[in-house]
Amino acid sequence: MTFSESNISTNVGSPTVPPGRAIAGPEERPFEVTNLSAPETVPVGQSFNVSATVRNPGDRNGTEELQYRFSGVTVQRQTLTLGAGESQTVTFEVSPGTLPSEPGTFTHGVYAFDDNQSASISLTNENQSASLRR
Protein backbone atom coordinates (compact mmCIF):
# COMPACT_ATOMS: atom_id res chain seq x y z
CA MET A 1 0.00 0.00 0.00
CA THR A 2 1.50 3.34 -1.02
CA PHE A 3 0.57 6.79 0.23
CA SER A 4 1.60 9.89 -1.71
CA GLU A 5 1.26 13.58 -0.99
CA SER A 6 3.08 16.09 -3.21
CA ASN A 7 6.77 15.09 -2.95
CA ILE A 8 6.42 12.63 -0.01
CA SER A 9 6.05 8.93 -0.80
CA THR A 10 5.75 6.20 1.81
CA ASN A 11 5.65 2.52 1.03
CA VAL A 12 4.08 0.43 3.81
CA GLY A 13 4.67 -3.30 4.17
CA SER A 14 7.89 -3.88 2.23
CA PRO A 15 11.26 -2.63 3.46
CA THR A 16 13.51 -1.08 0.84
CA VAL A 17 17.28 -0.79 0.72
CA PRO A 18 18.99 2.06 -1.15
CA PRO A 19 20.99 0.91 -4.20
CA GLY A 20 24.53 -0.14 -3.30
CA ARG A 21 23.68 -0.75 0.35
CA ALA A 22 23.16 -4.08 2.10
CA ILE A 23 20.97 -4.95 5.04
CA ALA A 24 23.13 -5.68 8.09
CA GLY A 25 23.07 -9.28 9.26
CA PRO A 26 24.32 -12.72 8.25
CA GLU A 27 25.12 -13.13 4.58
CA GLU A 28 23.93 -16.11 2.57
CA ARG A 29 26.18 -16.86 -0.39
CA PRO A 30 26.13 -19.64 -3.00
CA PHE A 31 28.18 -22.74 -2.28
CA GLU A 32 31.65 -23.08 -3.84
CA VAL A 33 32.82 -26.26 -5.60
CA THR A 34 36.54 -27.15 -5.63
CA ASN A 35 38.93 -30.11 -5.82
CA LEU A 36 37.15 -32.19 -8.46
CA SER A 37 38.44 -35.77 -8.40
CA ALA A 38 37.45 -37.87 -11.40
CA PRO A 39 39.07 -40.37 -13.74
CA GLU A 40 40.36 -39.10 -17.09
CA THR A 41 39.59 -42.37 -18.90
CA VAL A 42 36.95 -45.02 -18.23
CA PRO A 43 36.01 -48.07 -20.33
CA VAL A 44 32.47 -47.91 -21.77
CA GLY A 45 30.15 -49.83 -19.44
CA GLN A 46 32.24 -49.37 -16.27
CA SER A 47 31.09 -47.54 -13.11
CA PHE A 48 33.23 -44.80 -11.58
CA ASN A 49 33.18 -42.23 -8.77
CA VAL A 50 33.41 -38.45 -9.01
CA SER A 51 33.96 -36.31 -5.92
CA ALA A 52 34.41 -32.63 -5.11
CA THR A 53 34.72 -30.41 -2.06
CA VAL A 54 31.74 -28.14 -1.48
CA ARG A 55 32.02 -25.12 0.85
CA ASN A 56 29.48 -22.72 2.29
CA PRO A 57 31.31 -19.34 2.33
CA GLY A 58 28.31 -17.55 3.86
CA ASP A 59 27.70 -16.39 7.42
CA ARG A 60 24.75 -18.70 8.04
CA ASN A 61 23.59 -22.25 7.34
CA GLY A 62 22.65 -23.02 3.77
CA THR A 63 21.20 -25.82 1.66
CA GLU A 64 21.81 -26.36 -2.04
CA GLU A 65 21.13 -29.00 -4.64
CA LEU A 66 24.32 -30.33 -6.18
CA GLN A 67 24.29 -31.97 -9.58
CA TYR A 68 26.58 -34.35 -11.41
CA ARG A 69 26.36 -33.48 -15.10
CA PHE A 70 27.67 -35.51 -18.00
CA SER A 71 27.84 -33.81 -21.39
CA GLY A 72 25.43 -31.11 -20.18
CA VAL A 73 22.81 -33.55 -18.84
CA THR A 74 22.07 -33.83 -15.12
CA VAL A 75 22.65 -37.49 -14.26
CA GLN A 76 22.42 -37.35 -10.43
CA ARG A 77 21.41 -34.91 -7.69
CA GLN A 78 22.25 -34.55 -4.00
CA THR A 79 20.94 -32.02 -1.50
CA LEU A 80 23.58 -30.74 0.91
CA THR A 81 23.17 -28.60 4.03
CA LEU A 82 26.28 -26.90 5.44
CA GLY A 83 26.87 -24.60 8.37
CA ALA A 84 28.50 -21.20 7.94
CA GLY A 85 32.07 -21.65 6.66
CA GLU A 86 31.70 -25.44 6.62
CA SER A 87 32.87 -27.72 3.80
CA GLN A 88 32.28 -31.35 2.89
CA THR A 89 33.35 -33.79 0.20
CA VAL A 90 30.49 -35.12 -1.93
CA THR A 91 30.77 -38.25 -4.04
CA PHE A 92 28.66 -39.34 -6.99
CA GLU A 93 28.71 -43.03 -7.95
CA VAL A 94 28.18 -43.00 -11.70
CA SER A 95 26.72 -46.13 -13.28
CA PRO A 96 27.11 -47.01 -16.95
CA GLY A 97 23.35 -47.06 -17.60
CA THR A 98 23.27 -43.25 -17.33
CA LEU A 99 26.09 -42.64 -19.83
CA PRO A 100 26.60 -42.97 -23.58
CA SER A 101 27.33 -46.49 -24.76
CA GLU A 102 29.77 -45.32 -27.44
CA PRO A 103 33.39 -44.19 -26.92
CA GLY A 104 34.18 -40.49 -26.99
CA THR A 105 35.45 -37.52 -24.99
CA PHE A 106 32.92 -35.62 -22.91
CA THR A 107 32.73 -32.83 -20.32
CA HIS A 108 31.47 -33.78 -16.86
CA GLY A 109 31.50 -32.25 -13.41
CA VAL A 110 29.88 -31.24 -10.14
CA TYR A 111 27.59 -28.20 -10.22
CA ALA A 112 26.17 -26.06 -7.41
CA PHE A 113 23.75 -23.14 -7.88
CA ASP A 114 26.39 -20.61 -8.95
CA ASP A 115 29.68 -22.54 -9.17
CA ASN A 116 31.09 -25.73 -10.69
CA GLN A 117 34.15 -27.81 -11.36
CA SER A 118 34.30 -29.72 -14.62
CA ALA A 119 36.80 -31.77 -16.60
CA SER A 120 37.08 -33.92 -19.69
CA ILE A 121 36.56 -37.66 -19.53
CA SER A 122 37.18 -40.22 -22.28
CA LEU A 123 34.98 -43.26 -22.56
CA THR A 124 36.98 -45.94 -24.33
CA ASN A 125 36.47 -49.44 -25.69
CA GLU A 126 37.91 -52.14 -23.40
CA ASN A 127 40.80 -52.84 -25.82
CA GLN A 128 41.63 -49.08 -26.03
CA SER A 129 41.91 -48.93 -22.23
CA ALA A 130 44.22 -51.94 -22.14
CA SER A 131 46.56 -50.42 -24.74
CA LEU A 132 46.62 -47.10 -22.86
CA ARG A 133 47.82 -48.86 -19.68
CA ARG A 134 50.81 -50.55 -21.37
Read off the pLDDT of each residue in 70-83 and give the average, rounded to a whole number: 96
Cα separation, 126 vs 45, in Å, equals 9
- Alpha-carbon torsion angle 15, 18, 22, 28, nearest 10: 60
Q: Decide: pTM greater than 0.85.
A: no
Q: What is the predicted pLDDT for the residue at 134?
A: 43
Cα 66 to its chain centre, rounded Å, is 5
Q: What is the pLDDT of residues 44-54, one digit of tens each?
A: 999 999 999 99
